[in-house]
Structure 1
């Protein structure tokens, strides 16, 4: 899924870059041969964008981004000029070799300054849009772009709160900078699985991440549950990396709940898509129950009743619990990956789980 989405992104970027080259040819070149502008644009623009994405020369990319701002800007201009010049020369050489261009080799391979400035401006537009999309997230970016939530919208959503255990102790032991790097690596590990299961990371609050899905998308094939356990499996699979890099393997607590909320775009100078309603607060309170009930993954019975468990996940009904800020008790279900040889559940719970699989219900 991630590879397909990335490929589609590059196709749209290539179309935009080619169109910008055709526009240049229309305004300043030969309107009858717009394809020439498209070819030059692709050869000049794509290398810059690939470099900005860290797809080649990644060490150089990271090195210049650590430089002070004035030096970074100067270095970036030099690199961009070099990449555009090489791309222009390659495109000119190809077109002249094919007999499409009839000018001298110098005319078709030496980059004119106006072409450089135009290519730099178009590349900057694409890089800016891509960076904003990454900053806001896919769903939020398109929602802001289309003004979907300019007026508040009632809808149903699934929320996943996932919290790192022991982050304060880690910061006290290794310092705040190391703790930030630790969290950054952990949040990066979340992202791949959230993307794979078509969720969106809504926010980071301290050492916790808030992930959300539209309800139907989140419960389809148990996506929201699969996302949690894929994250846990990924951490376990890469335990050696975590031990060698940070001296410990992360432990997380996760809570899932869903229901009606109001989604709205708020802010003046800084706009944000935000969610209002008891569902969000209940998910946060449910996550705090993980520690009290000594279970790493909890889901509300309300949400559990609306989905089918993945085959390798077992459920344990923990009954109803009072939740701060909520007028009525909340049914709570613990989730765990099934043990290969023997289940942790009692015989009665196994019968209950089997009924839940058949009817999609835990109550």
Structure 2
């Protein structure tokens, strides 16, 4: 199982648990101590109403989870936000109605009645005040769930939890590795494609990059134009030399998809990158728009070295600090030069890397 699939299944599990909690909370608030309310929907003789709520909520969560993670992204990616909301609302209400019908028919069957009695009971419930209260509750809960998923995807895996805990409310120091990944000959490609088609070109490139991020435990710090800034905690970046292998894997992936890029854009994307590590300060910044920001010489050095790739005709340049911590026979470092970077007093040794797989 790939890391991306595992992450998607974790999202589905979250959605299922979320809806199980929401379903039981609804029963607790709406029907606790109210026998008449339970009789209204045909559940007055069921000893454990929470069992039915859990089963129905599990089905709701599983259905919505599969739709949200595996189906919606494929079919609503190019739809407008309004159209996407309409589709989701129709499917959501249809799924809710179906699960309620199945639940009430199941209750009727267990009580010794015909399935048709369950259908009649369902119709009565759909016309009752209780259904519209339930529908309103589900819409609110569903909107909040989508908000959580949206924020998590915007900020990246794990970041939202750190924000909730206030981990970066006050600046802290972390040891991290950064990669600055930039499209080669971007100005020429943009001029030939035009800005709209060039933006689609970049979208496709970074979509391919996203497919391997989880596999190599990388996080996106920023997308800036045609540049992506990746980051790792030191231990995650060094594990299986993730911070290095991801570059060569991205190259391989783009090579596999070169026919697609040539057919649609008449250009093959080639990226150049720099890699540097060290201690940075991490903090939440901004008031109207809050995000986690990294500050320190590590980022400046990585950015400056990335700008040297064209000068030395290299796709990947790394600093001595990276070479010193690499422990792999699969990677060979080749010394390039010792350079004086703008804004720095001391010279920096730079290397390129080659793989032996």
2-structure distance, mates of 1:175, 1:95: 61
TM-score relative to the length of structure 1: 0.84
Q: 1:204 matched to which residue of 2?
A: 223
CA contact (8 A) 1:300 1:331 kept: yes
Pairing 1:93–2:108 present: no
Shift of 1:278: 0.4
Q: 2:9 matched to which residue of 1?
A: 7
Pairing 1:55–2:43 present: no
Indicate the SS of the match to 1:53.
helix
CA contact (8 A) 2:220 2:228 kept: yes
2-structure distance, mates of 1:78, 1:15: 23
Pairing 1:83–2:85 present: no
Deviation string for 1:53-79 (max 9, x for gaps)?
A: 3526943x346x326x3x655554333
CA contact (8 A) 1:300 1:330 kept: yes
Q: 1:16 matched to which residue of 2?
A: 18
CA contact (8 A) 1:18 1:37 kept: yes
Which of residues 282, 292, 297 in structure 2 aligns to 1:273? 292
Superposition pairs for residues 138-217 of structure 1, below 5 Å? 138-217=157-236
Tell me whether 285-294 or 9-18 shows the greater mean CA deviation: 9-18
Shift of 1:92: 3.0
1-structure distance, mates of 2:276, 2:113: 63
Q: 1:360 matched to which residue of 2?
A: none
Q: 2:268 matched to which residue of 1?
A: 249
Alignment CA distance shift 1:264-1:101 (3 Å): farther
1-structure distance, mates of 2:319, 2:294: 19
2-structure distance, mates of 1:260, 1:300: 14
Alignment CA distance shift 1:9-1:45 (3 Å): closer
Tell me whether 17-26 or 5-14 shows the greater mean CA deviation: 5-14
Tell me whether 240-249 or 274-283 shows the greater mean CA deviation: 240-249
Root-mean-square deviation (CA, aligned residues, Å) is 2.4
CA contact (8 A) 1:47 1:84 kept: no
Q: 1:38 matched to which residue of 2?
A: 54
Pairing 1:107–2:121 present: yes
1-structure distance, mates of 2:299, 2:247: 17
2-structure distance, mates of 1:106, 1:162: 61
CA contact (8 A) 2:170 2:284 kept: yes
Deviation string for 1:118-152 (max 9, x for gaps)?
A: 22222211111011100111132222121111111
Pairing 1:27–2:23 present: no
Shift of 1:306: 1.0
1-structure distance, mates of 2:326, 2:172: 24
2-structure distance, mates of 1:204, 1:310: 32
TM-score relative to the length of structure 2: 0.86
1-structure distance, mates of 2:288, 2:305: 33
Q: 1:335 matched to which residue of 2?
A: 353
Pairing 1:118–2:137 present: yes
Q: Which runs of 5+ in 1 are unaligned?
A: 341-363
CA contact (8 A) 1:20 1:38 kept: no
Shift of 1:272: 0.9
Shift of 1:238: 1.6
Alignment CA distance shift 1:99-1:72 (3 Å): same
Pairing 1:304–2:306 present: no
2-structure distance, mates of 1:317, 1:185: 33
Number of equivalent positions: 334
Deviation string for 1:147-202 (max 9, x for gaps)?
A: 11111101211000000112222221121111111111111111122211111001
Shift of 1:47: 3.0
Q: 1:66 matched to which residue of 2?
A: 80
